[in-house]
Structure 1
Amino acid sequence: MTGKSEKMKARLPRGFVDRSADDIRAVDEMCAKIRAVYERYGFEPVETPLIEYTDALGKFLPDQDRPNEGVFSFQDDDEQWLSLRYDLTAPLARYVAENFERLPKPYRSYRAGWVFRNEKPGPGRFRQFMQFDADTVGTPGVAADAEMAMMMADVMEALGLNGQYVIRVNSRKVLDGVLEAIGLGGEENAGRRLTVLRAIDKADKFPREEVNKLLGPGRWDGGKKGEGDFTKGAGLSQEQIDKLHALMLQSGNAGILVDEARASEAELSAGPFPGSTQYLSNRQLCKDMAEAAEENGMEQSGIDELGTIAALVDAAGYGPDRIRIDGSVVRGLEYYTGPVYEAELLAEIPNEKGEIVRFGSVGGGGRYDGLVSRFRGEPVPATGFSIGVSRLVTALKNLGKLEKRSATGPVIVTVMDRDRKADYMRLTKILRDGLNPVDENGRPLGPPIPVEMYLGNPKNFGNQLKYADRRGSPCVVIQGGDEREKGEVQIKDLVVGARLAQNIADHEQYKESRPGQITVPQSDLVVEVQKILDAQRAERA
């Protein structure tokens, strides 16, 4: 026996990340811009808990025999299965159904929050991540879907991504019609259909031959048998795969071009696409899709809906450079029933390995008319989209659209005499109130300026200055016994002091000159600190 207690090893679970103050502020800054767009469209906030009954999360999730497959689940005292939410859409459906009579219809809401996936983590793939959703419940027409696409475009513009994104729109009815045409209709093929959809959804990540493996026999992550994990394929024949690709090529990315004389005003304002002097027309694309479609009512219905969306966004002035009909958009979840859309970044951005790649999707969604209906037993149409917050923040930082901006560090009131802490606390209170004025209703008149009294061991004054430097403090307040008797305080500008100290030869010279340090009457404390803060702010600008 050594008598020493065994230390617990500090370790972060795989698939989870800690967030620093800079990361949190970057997310807050981005979300504030997104929230402003949502509220401009008339959406209001709502919040649902992180935990729901497992069966309420939807049939697209695992059944009760495998409650931990894909989701994190546990049983309560009544042996009911509960799960951490998989996304924000299924909990919203439960909330709307439970409060259906008192909510206005259509019900327009937005919410941000953490979601959880019990899946194998990997580079850029986490078990906990944040989403920011907006949904309209109670509107059957595709005007709501067109509005969602327009709002997604406006969000991208608000984040400074002009010309670096496109909102791609398709319909699950078109996809379901094609799947039915290749023999995958009916409830008995539900599992294979979902596998096909998830394979097609990876078309922007994998080359065509890799997607074909997922549609056919399956795919090894390492590229060869036995290398990495194996993903079971949908088992389609080559003929079925070729028919699917025929649909995928009917896309805005492939391009249906019309000349200037046939372009609408929105298409003209979009300007020529790179490498072309012509204009891509969403309405022309829908017309070509209709001519190529099989004799399938569901597929034709989807194409008609896409035509309506194309006309609506065109009338609102959104050209195909911003919102584009694209037959390759799938979305992997099973609950989508109509139009689906995806926000794709067109910029090339370094990945985790430093390789320059096209960033791809940062959010998406679609119509899900069946989720609320599961609880109500009557049709309740709904549509919405979700932004992947962490992924979008990473893209914005890499593009220089969202700088890492630390908030102003706190003004530090140092402690020279541990027996006079009440005096230092009074100085701290004077500064807090003076630097953070409020109106007659108690509302702040400006951004907060933090002020704190040093609460560590005051014995070594140098450690207090090191603490202030580590916190990014703009200045510190110093009052010893001599200053107190004279009714004075010293203020040390840490930014100016650091700059001046570079030209000082030795410690004795530093002590004599005290760079960046001034002595002022205590009554002028707030005014003088504010002058220092204003000067530093002007210098940064």
Structure 2
Amino acid sequence: MAKKEKTFRPKARVPKGVRDISGPLLRSEARMLARIREVYERYGFDPLETSAIEYADALGKFLPDEDRPNEGVFAFQDDDEQWMALRYDLTAPLARYVAENYDGLPKPFRRYQTGPVWRNEKPGPGRFRQFTQFDADTVGAPTVAADAEMVMLACDCFEAVGIPRGSYRLRASNRKVLDGLMEEIGIAGEPGSVVHMTVLRAIDKYDRLGRQGVELLLGPGRKDESGDFTKGAGLEPDQIARVMDYVESGVGTEESDRKATLDGWRKVVGKSEIGLEGVEELAEMDALFTAAGYGSDRIEFNSWIVRGLGYYTGPVFESDLLFEVKDEKGNPVRFGSVGSGGRYDGLVERFKGVKVPATGFSIGVSRLLAALELLGKLEDEAQSAPVVVLTLDADRMADSQAMTRELREAGIRAEMYLGGSGMRAQMKYADRRGAPIAVIEGEDERARGEVTLKDLILGAEMSKEIEDNAEWREGQPAQVSIPRANLVEEVEKMLARHSSHAGHHGR
């Protein structure tokens, strides 16, 4: 007897570094994005959607080379053997779009966009290969007023989604100040050189490693707790001292006073023209912040803000969430940055051959949503579940469909059960859906011209110890029969009672 060939069945699994997101969290995300979108619209930005796939040579940061076409991005070749890639952010596609449509666009061009981006990098805790960003950018504005507006926009976005003032801070710096510091301490080589980037990475770690850790990274190198060694920049002691003077400018001043920080930066950049230019740009931004009422409790100047991407050319800024909460295991969680941005005057130039000034701000949607969840700022989803109309007789399906349509036309979220199971399974389904009400019309109800409304939320309430709800329960039976003609009216009343009761108990 021939051996039966085994059928191949692929394993149901999500790839590493990506994830599925379910309905309740997606709804919370949609509400959060709507509030951010309102702020972007109020500032005069218009929506834009660019393609998720770009020619790889347009992406700028992760240009594929002959040996590693997938370095940093997910890339593939089309029929013409041209390399294409999934976008790694929303800024590089914007630069391509502006260059391609330059003559027809208003200048400045102001756009916002949200969508997924992809990074071909090793995934880790909280580090995904696919994640969502929500950006606002101004292209064609040469003055730092545009950068200042981006920082104030970020503040307004965080407050709009429910993060109170005092629980976040926007921290700004300027890459020109850093370039001036490098010039003053005699670091040779163009920005982007190995030594240059090693110094920037060391400065960026000050808030995590402190003075001693940064000094080691500026000098011979540092061994961490696991024994891994990170090679340092190899600076001389006097160079290290000058860098630390810069890093600690403003540290310890009351409320991180912006003017005190600028005074410290003027000293460390000395006579460097590029450095002084950066300081004066920030001084101009400070005047704009002050005039608009954005004090140092919302915006500070901070030496540790470096920003990793190589295309930043001027002011850079980063958000910091200051509150600490506990995760489900009781461990403290500090979220840190959930948004960042800066000026990138050279990105469109790659296409046009002329400088086109630009600045932008990007929100990390997943991190911000996770922060709101731990803060308890996500709204209750109980009322978003649909009313479920049961289907007890296959030959009377049209009656159930008619009731479902009436509820929907009244603006009530409703669905007709389509699973083909009996009443017990249908009720179990309604419970699992979180339905507030089940609508039942069997033979007996139909003969009387009635329907039964089963209050599923009240049933759940009866199993809980909630102060002050006993009297409320007494007059609200968990199951009532009503005239069929009064279906919509009675469902609306039942939903309204639940809404007011939840509000009374602060839920």
Distance apart, 1:451 and its partner CA: 0.9
Cα shift readout 1:183-204 (whole Å, capped 9, x = no counterpart): 4343486344234323432333
Query: Is the counterpart of residue 168 in structure 1 residue 171 in structure 2?
Result: yes
The match for 2:420 is 457
The match for 1:525 is 487
Contact 2:179 2:191 survives alignment (8 Å):
no
Cα shift readout 1:253-290 (whole Å, capped 9, x = no counterpart): x1445xxxxxxxxxxxxxxx4xxxxxx53224323321
Query: Is the counterpart of residue 52 in structure 1 residue 14 in structure 2?
Result: no
SS in 1 for 2:115: strand
Query: Is the counterpart of residue 121 in structure 1 residue 120 in structure 2?
Result: no
Cα shift readout 1:364-405 (whole Å, capped 9, x = no counterpart): 111000001111111210011111111111112212233463
| Counterpart-to-counterpart distance in 2, 1:370 and 1:220 | 36
Contact 1:169 1:323 survives alignment (8 Å):
yes
| Counterpart-to-counterpart distance in 1, 2:464 and 2:20 | 36
The match for 2:110 is 108
How do residues 185-334 of structure 1 correspond to structure 2 at under 5 angstroms? 185-187=188-190, 190-212=193-215, 214-216=217-219, 223-225=226-228, 233-251=232-250, 254-257=251-254, 273=255, 280-334=256-310
Counterpart amino acid of residue 50 in structure 2: T
Q: 2:158 aligns with which of 156, 159, 169?
A: 156
Contact 2:189 2:196 survives alignment (8 Å):
no
Contact 1:415 1:424 survives alignment (8 Å):
yes
The match for 1:30 is 32
Q: 1:478 aligns with which of 440, 445, 451?
A: 440
Distance apart, 1:41 and its partner CA: 1.0
Q: Relative to structure 1, is the Cα distance of residues 161 and 499 closer, same or farther in structure 2, using a 3 angstrom cutoff?
A: closer
Cα shift readout 1:449-500 (whole Å, capped 9, x = no counterpart): 3211110123x21000000000011111111223223322121111224445
When structure 1 is superposed on structure 2, of 394-403 and 61-70 the one drifting more is: 61-70
Cα shift readout 1:34-84 (whole Å, capped 9, x = no counterpart): 111111111111111111111111146554542211111111111111111
Q: Relative to structure 1, is the Cα distance of residues 5 and 60 closer, same or farther in structure 2, using a 3 angstrom cutoff?
A: closer
SS in 1 for 2:319: strand
Contact 1:337 1:369 survives alignment (8 Å):
yes
Q: 1:540 aligns with which of 492, 502, 506?
A: 502
Q: Relative to structure 1, is the Cα distance of residues 232 and 68 closer, same or farther in structure 2, using a 3 angstrom cutoff?
A: farther
| Counterpart-to-counterpart distance in 2, 1:188 and 1:155 | 33
The match for 2:335 is 359
Query: Is the counterpart of residue 85 in structure 1 residue 87 in structure 2?
Result: yes
| Counterpart-to-counterpart distance in 2, 1:62 and 1:239 | 39
How do residues 56-71 of structure 1 correspond to structure 2 at under 5 angstroms? 56-59=58-61, 61-71=63-73
SS in 2 for 1:384: strand
SS in 2 for 1:101: helix
SS in 2 for 1:110: strand
Aligned length: 490
The match for 2:392 is 416
SS in 2 for 1:419: helix
The match for 1:376 is 352
Contact 2:319 2:338 survives alignment (8 Å):
yes
Q: Relative to structure 1, is the Cα distance of residues 188 and 499 closer, same or farther in structure 2, using a 3 angstrom cutoff?
A: closer
Q: Relative to structure 1, is the Cα distance of residues 214 and 404 closer, same or farther in structure 2, using a 3 angstrom cutoff?
A: farther
How do residues 393-412 of structure 1 correspond to structure 2 at under 5 angstroms? 393-403=369-379, 405-412=381-388
Contact 1:60 1:334 survives alignment (8 Å):
no
Name the % identity.
54
Distance apart, 1:103 and its partner CA: 1.3
Query: Is the counterpart of residue 429 in structure 1 residue 395 in structure 2?
Result: no
SS in 1 for 2:102: coil
When structure 1 is superposed on structure 2, of 150-159 and 332-341 the one drifting more is: 150-159
SS in 1 for 2:88: coil
TM-score (norm 2): 0.90
Counterpart amino acid of residue 452 in structure 1: E
Distance apart, 1:215 and its partner CA: 4.3
Contact 2:185 2:239 survives alignment (8 Å):
yes
| Counterpart-to-counterpart distance in 2, 1:333 and 1:497 | 55
| Counterpart-to-counterpart distance in 1, 2:461 and 2:290 | 56
Pairwise CA RMSD of aligned residues? 2.5
Contact 1:118 1:127 survives alignment (8 Å):
yes
SS in 2 for 1:328: coil
